[in-house]
Structures are given as structure tokens and as C-alpha cells.
Amino acid sequence: MKYPKKLKAGDTIGLLCPSSPTKPEREELCKAFVRDLGYKIKAADNLSASFGGYMAGTGEVRGKWINAMFADPEVNAIICIKGGSSSSRAMEFLDLETIKKNPKIFVGYSDITNFHTVINQFGGFVTFHGPMVSSNMLDNKFDEETKNSLFHALNADEDYDLEKPANTDISVIKPGKARGILAGGCLSLLCASVGTPYEIDTRGKIIFLEDVNEDVYRIDRFASQLRDSGKFRDCAGVLLGQFADCKNREKPEFTPVECLADILKDANVPVISNVQSGHGFPMMTLPFGAECSIDTVTKTVRFHVDRS
């Protein structure tokens, strides 16, 4: 898949809330933060709007704002303010032809998973599972490792290895080597997409999974549905990221990763855990749609950059 154009100093960043809204006071803080990074901004008018209490406007409003940001020739990149709930409501309103014709940087995670999947599969270009403005940049959360990983991913010219934050290393659950397009995101969102037109296609791909605030029995349920729908049978490999505040109240030692390892035990693919990306800090940016290779002997995850 194509990499979008790099982000340069002085470029215009489109700010979106394509899922849940931010608070009015944080809206202005988000705008100021991005300006202070050295960029111009164009902001959607629904950043702090509320529909139903948890949606930044109707699905149609949010879908149209995504379309508008991709269609706007002055917008060089799009960064989501936050995730939340209800991105699924916006999917039917996406103009996939407009998005495909205007590839550009798109950054977000969590409920933004739905948009990554559809842009990668129907738009044909790389998007970035990376930090969002309100969730990860304000309140002194934009640590150097998170910041460096984001801008490296957006502007890489050549192949590079996934960064490992200080005092961390990836763990091997199932050994092996694999190569394929990187896809995935929030486990619960991927599960919810099964049976819809926006269902993730895992065939031959490296699948990344993470989640937040879920009991382990729910992680079990989500992953079992992906397994039973063939998503692990057809993939090339699996990366397990951060499972922030995902706990097992009945048996704490049976963690989300141990649960997933058990569900994946019959998958004939390499599986790596402790990838530092997701709802935790620091957060490493992942280029969804990029060619990715994993090697459990060297404990490396490598991204192959194609800007041709």
C-alpha cells in the first residue's frame, strides 16, 4: 500500500472527533497544542458537540467531516482528538472514492480502529495507529518516546524496526518468522466488525490486537469470535499490544495475554506480545497497511517503507 506524503513544519492538520466529543475547554487546548507544535489547523465544528451524550454529532455529521478533511486540498494530515464510542455509526456515510483519491496522513486508535480498516482495505494507503491530541498529547502525556515514534513513523524514508521503550522488550508466545501487511487495532472493535461490510480481512496479514478496560472474560469472548470466524487461521502472524486496565477479578494471574495465548495455541503462526502500542504510555505508532515482518529469534518487528 502507498505511504501518504510526509508531514512538514507549517503543514495544515485537520482535527477531528469522528467518534465521541471532547469537552469544550479541551477543544481550545487541543487546537493550541497543535499550533504550538508548528502546524496550522483546520478543525471540524463538532469537536465538543454532543448527540446522545456520547457521540460528537450523528453518524452522518461525523462521516461527512471525515470526507471533507480528505477532500480539502489545504489539509495535509488528519489527527483525531480522541476515540470513544460510536464510530460504527459513521461508517455508512464515508465517501470511499473521495478518500481513495486523496491519500493523506490519518492518525488515531481505539474507536478509530473502524476507520483504519476501511481506509486500508478500500482506500489502499497506510494509516497510523498513533497518539491522539486530547488522549495522548495534553496533560504532559506526550513523552519523548511517544513523540519520536509518531514523527518517525509519519516521515520514515526507509525500513525501520519497531521502537522498544526503555526497560521493555517483546515476548515470544509462538516462535517463527512472518511477513505481511499490518492490520488490526482495538480487539472489541475488530470483533464488532465481523459480519459487516467493514469486516477486517486478515488473509496473509500480521494482526495487531490491543484493548482497554475490559474484563478478561470479555477479551476471551472477543478473541474467540475472531478465531471462530477464521481470522487467526488465515493470518500470517499476531502482535499483542497493551491491554491497559484489563483485569481478571476471579483469577488475576490469568492475564489477558495468557488468555489470548491459550486461544491462539492452535494457530500455526508466530505470536509476539508486549508490543508497546495501545491505550498505555508510552505509545509507539504503528503504520497500518504497511508491509511488516516479524522474527521471534531476533525479537524484531520491522516495517518496510514504500514511498514510490
In the 3-class helix/strand/coil scheme, how is 16-70 assigned residue by residue?
Answer: ECCCCCCCHHHHHHHHHHHHHCCCEEEECCCCCCCECCCECCCHHHHHHHHHHHH
Residue from 285, 286, 303 nearest 294 by CA: 303
304 labelled catalytic = no
* Residues 42/75, Cβ–Cβ less than 8 Å: yes
Residue from 286, 270, 280, 282 nearest 160 by CA: 286
- Quick one: cell of 5? 506524503
116 labelled catalytic = no
* Residues 107/15, Cβ–Cβ less than 8 Å: no
* Rounded Cα distance, 57 and 182, in Å: 31
Residue from 94, 116, 109, 128 nearest 6 by CA: 128
210 labelled catalytic = yes
| Residue carrying C-alpha cell 495535509 | 76
Tell me how many degrees the CA angle 271-276-282 measures, rounded to the nearest 5. Answer: 175
Q: Which of 110, 188, 193, 273 is catalytic?
A: 110
For helices 256-263 and 216-228, angle between their N-to-C axes, nearest 10 degrees: 20
Dihedral sign for Cα atoms in the order 34, 36, 40, 45: positive
Q: Which of 27, 277, 279, 291 is catalytic?
A: 279
Q: Which residues contact 90 (CB under 8 A, 6 or more apart)?
A: 18, 19, 59, 60, 62, 63, 66, 114
Q: Which of 210, 214, 273, 293 is catalytic?
A: 210
Active-site residues: which are they? 110, 210, 279
